[in-house]
Amino acid sequence: MTSDSRIGPPCFGSERETLRAFLDYHRATLAMKCEGLTDEELRQQSMPPSTLSLLGLVRHMAEVERAWFRRVFEDNDVPLVWSDELDFQAAYDASASTREEAFTAWEAEVANSRRIEREAESLDQAGYQPRWGEEVSLRMVMVHVLLQYARHNGHADFLREGVDGTVGA
């Protein structure tokens, strides 16, 4: 990691501004954890039997963004990025993936998620979560995706340290 260009969340702001800022902060954290690494380093797995890698996390978060924003608020039937059968584990297999492939997909899904959130009239906007068979609010979706990033950024900390010894934010 060469620099920390993340913008920290505000200490004051509306609920929506705060959720948006924390999501963007965690998105930037994942990108930062991958900064400066080769495709091979990004594919480096944690420890057997786990196949977890930084590139796998990027691919997984592309699926999370799609599953929680596009599938809930726009198209309940849109397939996942790497699986037609709703296999969320498929994204973790980054053995043949590249930075370009994974980041292009992830960045496209993040852009869609940002657009969907900004176009929504309020955090109370309801969408349908097909996996659960029930409606959920945009607020719930934003919190859920934020928690996914926070969890996986913790994994990214350990993965990056394992690749080149880099620790810290």
| pLDDT tens digits along 28-77 | 999 999 999 999 999 999 888 888 999 999 999 999 999 999 999 999 99
pLDDT reported for residue 9: 86
Token pair in block for residue 92? 């973790």
H helices of the chain, where? Answer: 15-34, 39-43, 54-65, 71-73, 99-119, 138-164
Token duo for residue 75: 């198209």
Helix axes 15-34, 54-65, angle to 10 degrees: 150
Tokens at 33, concatenated: 């954890």
pLDDT value for 1: 59
Predicted local distance difference test score (pLDDT) of residue 96: 92
What confidence score (pLDDT) does residue 49 get?
86
Q: What is the pTM of this model?
A: 0.93
Q: Which residues of the chain have pLDDT under 50?
A: none
